[in-house]
A and B are shown apart, each in its own frame.
Chain A
Amino acid sequence: AQSVTQLGSHVSVSEGALVLLRCNYSSSVPPYLFWYVQYPNQGLQLLLKYTSAATLVKGINGFEAEFKKSETSFHLTKPSAHMSDAAEYFCAVSQNNAGNMLTFGGGTRLMVKP
């Protein structure tokens, strides 16, 4: 079975500060991991994905995430927050023996203060 836990349903940072959104997963086999972003009243947009190549994955809009097997984590970071980064972020996990199913975390709402 696979599952995802996102620590912190709400995260607030100041503009220009480091963004760190946490994601921990459980998976019985090597996982594939994804981060999605959702802007208000829109669908989800893929930010980045880990598919067992490089452990540090770079995505769009300056975001990156590092796969740490020993910590079963896939935290999302951005060095300097912009006001436009305010959105909800979802971490998701899948396995190659679980059909096509992605399992999503509960989401983290990022607020950026001026």
Chain B
Amino acid sequence: EAGVTQSPTHLIKTRGQQATLRCSPISGHTSVYWYQQALGLGLQFLLWYDEGEERNRGNFPPRFSGRQFPNYSSELNVNALELEDSALYLCASSTKGQGYFNGYTFGSGTRLTVV
């Protein structure tokens, strides 16, 4: 069974540009979660999608946005990139309504570097 896959693994962008990160959940998982892991700041919750709808959002500015497609894959878009957006972005998935019980399965992340 394929795990959670994220692409690209590394991304280098210039300040002010836009970045698009992609995530494919485990087959059968309908919920997708995005986290930002900046150096020394732990895991910061960004977004939760389930069945195409945004279910919850963390304390991030609107330039962080995303969507979930009918096949449950997801995109995270970051507009007007700032240097402090440099971080490892982790995607996780869970079965519908069972994430609180089963936990999440994480991908390996996308390392975004803003220069």
Contact = CB atoms under 8 A, between A and B. Distances in A.
Contact of A107 (B42, B90, B106): B42
Contacts of A18: none
Contacts, number: 69
B107 A100 contact: no
Interface in B74-115: 88, 90, 92, 94, 97-109, 111
Interface hub of A44, A45, A92 (most chain B Cβ within 10 A): A44
19 contacts: A41-B88, A41-B109, A41-B111, A42-B108, A43-B108, A43-B109, A44-B104, A94-B99, A94-B101, A96-B100, A99-B48, A99-B100, A100-B48, A100-B99, A101-B100, A102-B103, A102-B104, A105-B42, A106-B42
B56 A107 contact: no
A49 B103 contact: yes
Interface string A15-35: 000000000000000001010
Closest 9 CB pairs of A and B: A100-B99, A43-B106, A94-B100, A44-B106, A106-B42, A43-B108, A104-B43, A34-B103, A107-B42
Interface of B: 4, 31, 42-43, 45, 48, 50, 55-56, 88, 90, 92, 94, 97-109, 111
A99 B105 CA distance: 17
A54 interface: no
Given A34-B103, A44-B90, A100 B43 contact: no
A56 interface: no
Interface hub of A34, A49, A92, A102 (most chain B Cβ within 10 A): A102
Interface in A56-114: 90, 92, 94-96, 98-102, 104-107
Interface of A: 32, 34, 36, 41-46, 49, 51, 90, 92, 94-96, 98-102, 104-107
B35 to A, nearest CB: 8
A41 B97 CA distance: 29
A96 to B, nearest CB: 6
A50 to B, nearest CB: 11
B103 to A, nearest CB: 5
A98 B100 contact: yes
